[in-house]
Amino acid sequence: MEPVLDIMARAPLFNGLSRDQLEALHAIGTVHMAEKGQTIFEEGEAADGFYVLLFGKIKVYKSSMDGKEHILHILGPGEPFGEVPVFIGANFPATAVATTPSKLLFFPRKRFIDLISQNPSIALGMIGLLCLRLKEFTHQIENLALKDVAARLASYLLALLRDQRTSSNRSIRLTISKSQLAGVLGTVPETLSRVFSRLSSAGYIRVQGPEITVLNPEGLQEVVTSGKWG
């Protein structure tokens, strides 16, 4: 298993920190394990610290009483979560569940705030992270409020294509199940499935299980911006 410090060093939050600073951080954190399906924290629970994911995959979501859930984030190694209530002294605003066996680093609230108060570079890292989250959320709100499901999916696929651009090819692999993707896009599996087949038969993409080939990126972009296609 890769050393904890190396994973931390790669996390954007801790970008540009010296080895000494990382050691100091590591010293105030405690390692936790979570098995698949385990709840890390639940919406409304009191928060006395936050987590950094070292290994595994976490989904953070909101759910309504009638069982529907909307996924806010799917997190991979190096990403922090549950940081919001640390700074406003409130409860967790959402629920976090491990979707694979995971390893977490937990930072207690008070000690982390002390550290940050003396360490402007960590503070700036935290600010950068929060701004990134805000931008993502802005995008999510925009999608939910003004775009239809096809546009949301197209936007998601183009983002994936941008991120996992393995040199030249236009094939991407979904890192989450289609049901989960439906949750991320604010819809249900049935609808997502239909949209996939509409985009397929329109010739924009080809779908083979979790393998998506983008045949016509410009077309997808059209779907995102104008919502019309053909």
Partner DNA sequence: ACAGCGCCTTGACCTGAATCAAGAAAGCAA
Partner DNA sequence: TTGCTTTCTTGATTCAGGTCAAGGCGCTGT
Residues whose CB falls within 8 Å of the CB of residue 117, separated by 6 or more in sequence, listed in order: 123
| Interface pick for its own copies out of 147, 192, 205, 212 (rule CB under 8 A) | 147
What 154-160 contacts at long range (C-beta under 8 Å, 24+ apart), as own/partner pairs, is 154/199, 154/204, 154/220, 154/221, 154/223, 154/224, 155/224, 156/181, 156/184, 156/185, 157/205, 157/212, 157/214, 157/220, 158/214, 158/217, 158/220, 158/221, 158/224, 160/212
Minimum distance from residue 25 beta carbon to its own copies (Å): 16
How many residues would you count in the chain? 230
Site for its own copies in 65-104 (CB under 8 A): 65-66, 68-70, 72, 83-88, 90, 93-94
> Distance (Å, rounded) from C-alpha 14 to C-alpha 126?
8
| Interface pick for its own copies out of 76, 120, 203, 210 (rule CB under 8 A) | 120
Q: Which is nearer to DNA, 166 or 201 (by Cβ)?
A: 201
Q: Report the half-sphere exposure of 25 (CA within 13 A, side-chain side).
A: 27
Number of residues lying near DNA (CB under 7 A): 22
Site for DNA in 123-152 (CB under 7 A): 148-150
| Interface pick for its own copies out of 52, 116, 199, 212 (rule CB under 8 A) | 116
> Distance (Å, rounded) from C-alpha 184 to C-alpha 176?
10
Minimum distance from residue 99 beta carbon to its own copies (Å): 19
> Distance (Å, rounded) from C-alpha 150 to C-alpha 145?
13
Minimum distance from residue 71 beta carbon to DNA (Å): 13
- The first and second tokens of residue 96, run together, are 């976090």
Place of tokens 């936007």: 155
Q: Which is nearer to its own copies, 33 or 132 (by Cβ)?
A: 132
113 binds, among DNA, its own copies, none (CB under 5 to 8 A by kind): its own copies
| Interface pick for its own copies out of 35, 137, 169, 179 (rule CB under 8 A) | 137
- CA 109, 113, 119, 120 torsion: positive or negative? positive
159 binds, among its own copies, DNA, none (CB under 5 to 8 A by kind): none
Interface map 163-202 toward DNA (x if CB under 7 A) = --------------xxx------xxxxxxxxx-xx-----
Binding site for DNA (CB under 7 A): 66, 68, 148-150, 177-179, 186-194, 196-197, 207, 209-210
